[in-house]
A and B are shown apart, each in its own frame.
Chain A
Amino acid sequence: MSAATPSKSGPLLTMRGLHIEATGFDGHPIIIVDGIDLDLERGQVLGLIGESGAGKSTIALAAMGYTRGGARITGGDIVFDGRNVLEMPYHQRRKLRGDRISYVAQSAAASFNPAKTLMHQIIEAPVLHGVMSAEEASQRAVDLFHRLKVPDPDTFGRRYPHQVSGGQLQRAMTAMAMVCEPDVLILDEPTTALDVTTQIEVLAAVRDVMREFGTAGLYITHDLAVVAQISDRIMVLRDGRTVEVGETQQILEAPRETYTRDLVAARRFHVKAGEGGSETPQALLEARGIDAGYGSVKVLKGVDVAVHPRETVAVVGESGSGKSTLARVVTGLLPPTRGQVLFQGEALPPALGQRSREQLRRIQMIYQMPDVALNPRHRVYDTLARPLQFYHGLRGKELREEVNRLLDDIELGGDYAQRFPGELSGGQKQRVCIARALAARPDVVICDEPTSALDQLVAESILELLQRLQDERGLAYLFITHDLGLVKAIADRVVVMKSGEVVQQGPKAEVFSPPAHPYTELLLASVPEMRVDWLDDVLETRAGQELAER
């Protein structure tokens, strides 16, 4: 490798005036990247941050001289280690990829071939590139497994992708990228698909390996707090342009641009004023001693949850903790094997089909993915009009007026009535989903991670809308989420779940104030904070605790 390295000085990667365009369906060019200048020094990590569509991934992939299908580089220079990437012939570019620049994708699960062992896939590139022999590569991979702290590093490579957890798979992917000891590692949202507690471990493992090998990196994410833990410098992007570049500390503490300031502020939620939720003795919605599961798999074990009028109850836990199953039981989609669901003290029939229209009307639901929660062939008007007809028998002029009122309520306006979901942004779609739930005039709305598929600032505005609607209409929310930052901001009461059981529940202040349940503590400590040395602090605390436990 070193033979191909002409100089050890000077920046490793520079981009000047990079332009990337794609051709839209109607034949018009769409500008994805609009004149980006980027400098990456050896051994340095640059965080690329921005909302979806900001051009983060496109820029990072361009460093390898690669663009996704349909996109092309239309201007600018990309110089890697003194050589212009865009002028390289194809075979040299190919050699560059995987050998000196490698890529870690967001979803490791989708990037591995399920039919081959991890080791087989990890050593494939170096062997194929003729950089090293299979034995050499395997040795290196095992060494990396040790450094990345996967369990049983010596035999880890013999497993198949489905036999390891998501966090381990992400580390395997990092090993795959590091096995050639590249100069630059491109990390495309490597921890976004992981639970908060796993995210820390992966983040720490990746950072340590990169430091040990002196690997430079481009770290792509939409989460400023995450990127702060690993980056030396941060580049804020929006609509394919640079908003601001600076040292991590400066971006976090003294952002120059308004947009950056908004991003920093969005993470510091406005905490809900007043501990709301009048503690009336009568719960609006109550789940008592719920056992439920799919076939022989038991997911919920003896879960008790109560929601009182006008309050927000947050159900938190990692994926697989049974949060969403609880929602399915409450709505009647999954009848419980034991226990019952009560509404205002009266037992609801366990199965959806046995519930009356009136019982169904009072419990509504908002989903995580607004894309699949709206029928793509129904106009907004039809989507909103149906529950009004169905539950309240509205028709004609009355119906049209009510749809318009709903659209005003979600801050969209009557012009949107004739649009199809495909003509709406993610945030707008979620607003329509909220309006559809409101149309039933419910008492309780179950919110299943309604903001986790949205960009930070959009999510913020959806939360504000939900809070305003709660104040105006006296709604109660059962809010399912894995985001503790969000829980702190919006919840009145908190239910913490782990492997199908409630480990702790109570008013927010009580649950989150020490001494909290150890699992709650772990979840709380895992939420990235917007400061540079947060990860080090967490790791130190945990090491201390482990020592104390011994």
Chain B
Amino acid sequence: MRVSGHRLSIAALVGLAIIFVNVAAAVLAPWIAPYSPTSTVGSVWLPPGEEGFLLGTDQNGRDMLTRMLYGARTSIGIALTATILSFLLGSVLGFLAATVGGWLDQLLSRIVDTLMAIPVLILALLVLTALGSSIPVLIGVIAVLDSTRVFRLSRAVGMDIAVMEYVEAARLRGEGLWWIIRREILPNALPPLIAEFGLRFCFAFLLISSLSFLGLGVQPPFADWGGMVRDNAQALEFGLSAPLIPAAGIAVLTIGVNLVVDWMLGLQGRTMEDSR
């Protein structure tokens, strides 16, 4: 299999398959889930396969498979939205800082430095405690925190491109800042940004899971993987596998995205050598 003329590695293929399955689960949850995600359908903590529950049941006797499908919907949905927002915010500001430079660059960079100096999880906990946890606030907090990393990368990549003579040629033509960012810089900055998108998605996804695990993320009765690990954690004491299922979901998706990102980064290395 090939993507834009480059052969996919086996690892990348596995990664893509994992992403595909997860996204399909998230999108199709209401149609393929066998039960309702909020209603009790069996006894508590049934092991996988028993009484026709493919993945068993959770601490309230709800179907685990259904919860996993709906959980994918929440976790992936929030992570994706937050990552897209963080890229819009981070890359526009990053390119702006790189092209305009001067005091604007100083101002933005120092703000970002300050934000990055505070541990992400602690800052997120503070904000969520103050504002109360709802899905829009959660998305907003993660987007802003993640955008600092995107800003750094965009600014660095943008600075390399902004000194190219084709950018100078556009400035000499009299092109506006927005046009230069959109048409001259963005297309050339895209490959590293796309790879970064995968990584940032993983971080956002893990952050939501951590926050939910700590009780400040997605609130019940909504299903989400991090929350499911916490809710079922006690089952471990009885030698039951319930919390391992959402935990495995988190791990597998993160690994899958990383496999694809690795392949893309390797590709960039090669094309960079080529263009030399």
- Could you tell me which A residues sit within 8 Å of B by CB distance? 25, 331-333, 352, 355, 357, 360-361, 364-365, 367, 369, 372-378, 386-387, 390-391, 422, 436, 440
Contact = CB atoms under 8 A, between A and B. Distances in A.
A319 to B, nearest CB: 17
Contacts of B184: 375
B168 interface: yes
5 contacts: A360-B173, A367-B165, A372-B166, A378-B183, A391-B173
B234 interface: no
A373 B169 CA distance: 7
A361 B174 CA distance: 9
B174 A360 contact: yes
B171 A352 contact: yes
Contact of B172 (A352, A372, A377): A352
Nearest to A446: B172
B50 to A, nearest CB: 54
A374 to B, nearest CB: 6
Interface in B170-195: 171-175, 183-184, 187-188
Which 4 A-B pairs give the minimum distances between C-beta atoms? A377-B187, A373-B165, A375-B166, A360-B174
Given A367-B165, A367-B169, A422-B275, A375 B188 contact: yes
A364 B171 CA distance: 11
A446 B34 CA distance: 72
A25 B172 contact: no
Given A333-B168, A374-B166, A378-B187, 4 more contacts: A331-B172, A360-B173, A364-B172, A376-B275
A377 B188 contact: yes
A363 to B, nearest CB: 8
Interface in B149-168: 164-166, 168
A372 B270 CA distance: 19
Contacts of B237: none
Nearest to B167: A375
A386 B173 contact: yes
Contacts of B274: 25
Interface string B2-41: 0000000000000000000000000000000000000000
Contacts of A376: 188, 275
Interface string B75-92: 000000000000000000
Nearest to B161: A375
A390 B174 contact: yes
B175 A390 contact: yes
A365 B169 contact: yes
B166 A373 contact: yes
Contacts of A369: 165
A25 B6 CA distance: 11
B173 A440 contact: yes
Contacts of A332: 172
Interface in B76-111: none
A351 B164 CA distance: 19
Given A25-B274, A375-B187, A360 B166 contact: no
Contacts of A422: 275
B184 to A, nearest CB: 6
A444 B85 CA distance: 45
Contacts of B188: 375-377
A273 to B, nearest CB: 32
A372 B165 contact: yes
A374 B168 CA distance: 10
A330 to B, nearest CB: 11
Contacts of A367: 165, 169
Nearest to A70: B273
Among the interface residues B171, B174, B175, B274, which one has the most CB atoms of the partner chain A within 10 A?
B174
Contacts of A333: 168, 171-172
A374 B166 CA distance: 5
B170 to A, nearest CB: 8
Contacts of A355: 174
A390 B166 contact: no
Contacts of B183: 375, 378
Nearest to A358: B174
A173 B274 CA distance: 29
Contacts of B164: 372, 375
Nearest to A328: B168
Given A372-B165, A372-B166, A373-B166, A360 B172 contact: yes
Contacts of B174: 352, 355, 357, 360-361, 390
Contacts of B275: 376, 422
Contacts of A373: 165-166, 169
Contacts of A440: 173
Nearest to A376: B188
A365 B172 contact: yes
Interface string B259-276: 000000000001000110
A386 to B, nearest CB: 7
Contacts of B175: 390
B99 to A, nearest CB: 13
A331 B169 CA distance: 10
A331 B165 CA distance: 13
A203 to B, nearest CB: 29
Nearest to B171: A352
B169 A436 contact: yes
Among the interface residues B164, B166, B171, which one has the most CB atoms of the partner chain A within 10 A?
B166
A391 B175 CA distance: 10
A285 B275 CA distance: 38
Contacts of B169: 365, 367, 373, 436
A278 to B, nearest CB: 28
Nearest to B174: A360
Contacts of B165: 367, 369, 372-373
Nearest to B187: A377
Contacts of B168: 333
A331 B188 CA distance: 25
B173 A387 contact: yes
A428 to B, nearest CB: 16
A352 B169 CA distance: 12
Contacts of A25: 270, 274
A88 B20 CA distance: 54
Contacts of B270: 25
A513 to B, nearest CB: 36
A543 to B, nearest CB: 43
A25 B184 CA distance: 27
Among the interface residues A364, A367, A375, A390, which one has the most CB atoms of the partner chain B within 10 A?
A375
A70 to B, nearest CB: 9
A136 to B, nearest CB: 40
Nearest to A332: B172
A378 B180 CA distance: 13
Nearest to B164: A372
A351 to B, nearest CB: 11
Nearest to B186: A377
A361 B173 CA distance: 7
A354 B169 CA distance: 16
A49 to B, nearest CB: 24
A334 to B, nearest CB: 11
A332 B174 CA distance: 11
